A and B are shown apart, each in its own frame.
Chain A
């Protein structure tokens, strides 16, 4: 079975540009997460979707960040405008459903560098 698929794997962009990260969760998983990993702050939950509906976006740092999940097999995380402090590895992850401590499956991550 295919795992969580993210694109792009690496992105280098200039400050002020729009960045769009994409994610395809594992088929049949109804919960999707976006995390950000930095040296300073570790792994942070940005937003959580259940059945395509955003349930908790309290981790989204600023209005510059937005996330959508138009259907069960696709999600995007957008940063507009991007800033150097947004440089990080962004992970998408999914689980089949809540309630039984399911293993959370991560994508390979999108390594973003904003210069």
Chain B
């Protein structure tokens, strides 16, 4: 069965610094899709970044980028120039293209002023 593991329950970063959130997954599929979602205190789940497994290039969205290591089944999120508004829960998610989206347990990110 596919699984998604986020081993860091909580992380802290100083404002303007860079932080990396870890995510590993397990699958026997060769084609799949990975996501990072942000959940601020308002509770809404907001897409941060999406990666297609068949693409070698790591996805980027402004200050957010991923390090996708397919062989290692690792999908980490790097946040550069951290801002106070980045403070939130971050969830890693996986789907092979079916209706089943597997979510990790989340990492709470604190941004220190």
Contact = CB atoms under 8 A, between A and B. Distances in A.
Interface of B: 32-33, 35, 37, 42-47, 50, 52, 91, 93, 95-101, 103, 105-106
Interface of A is mostly: strand
A91 interface: yes
User: Closest 3 A-B residue pairs measured CB to CB?
Assistant: A101-B33, A106-B45, A43-B103
Interface string A95-108: 00011110111111
Contacts of B93: 104
B37 to A, nearest CB: 8
Contact of B101 (A42, A100, A104, A111): A104
Interface of A: 31, 33, 37, 42-43, 45, 48, 50, 55-56, 89, 91, 93, 98-101, 103-109, 111
B97 to A, nearest CB: 5
Contact of A48 (B43, B47, B99): B99
Contacts of A101: 32-33, 50, 52, 95-97
Contacts of B99: 31, 33, 48, 50, 55-56, 98
A43 B45 CA distance: 11
Q: Which one of B91, B93, B97, B101 has the greatest number of beta carbons of chain A within 10 Å? A: B101
